[in-house]
Structure 1
Amino acid sequence: MLRLVLQEILLFSLPFLAFAAWLLFARRSPLDHAAWKPQWTRLVLAGLFVVIASLVMTGLTGQRTKDGYEPPRYENGRLVPGHFR
């Protein structure tokens, strides 16, 4: 689960990293607040778009199983753990 959260955080940060690389390429300081201030809204929207697109693509191309998850249950007084069929 942690890997999935970190993956989405990395995907969200891609537009910010690309903008910082562009500032370096343009020989401007990526630490200059004046260069970032007008771009925050666009960068956040681009990051959200990348994350949503990755979630949609994962949902469309993810592996499907015909059998589902069987939750834990009691049989004859004993707990049978949950498992995938």
Structure 2
Amino acid sequence: MIRPLLTEVGIFLIPFVAYALFVFASRRDVLNRSSWPLRIVLILSVSAFLLVILSLVLLAHFSGEAPDSVYTPARVENGKFIPGSGSSR
């Protein structure tokens, strides 16, 4: 559960890191408040939210089994563990 959360937090931070690298490359002080005007922070926040939404949509669309698949739960047969799976009809 923590890995998907950290992945989304990482995706959210991408625009801010890119801007910090830009500020650093332009030889300005990254930690100076004047390097982070409110307008820029708002633009970065909106773009970060859009990236997170896009990543969630892509994750939902391209992960998991096919929509017409049937889930078979995990079970134990003759003392042997058989993992669950999704299979097409």
TM range (shorter): 0.7 to 0.9
Please report the TM-score for the alignment, with normalisation by the length of structure 1.
Answer: 0.75
Counterpart for residue 26 of structure 1: 26
User: How much does 1:29 deviate?
Assistant: 1.0
For the residues of structure 1 that align with 2:65 and 2:52, how far apart are their CA atoms? 21
Query: Structure 2: 5+ residue runs without aligned partners?
Result: 74-82
Aligned residue identity for 1:35: S
Q: TM-score, normalised by structure 2?
A: 0.72
Pairing 1:6–2:9 present: no
User: Structure 1 runs of 4+ off > 4 angstroms?
Assistant: none
Q: What do residues 53-85 of structure 1 show as CA deviations (whole Å, max 9, x unaligned)?
A: 111111121131512376xxxxxxxxxxxx845
- Paired with 2:11 and 2:56, the residues of 1 have a C-alpha distance of 11
Q: What's the % identity of the aligned pairs?
A: 26
Please list the CA deviations of residues 33-59 of structure 1 after superposition, one character each: whole Å capped at 9, or x if unmatched. Answer: 111123111111011011011111111
Aligned pairs for 1:1-85 within 5 A: 1-38=1-38, 39-65=40-66, 66-68=69-71, 84=84
> Number of residues paired by the alignment?
73
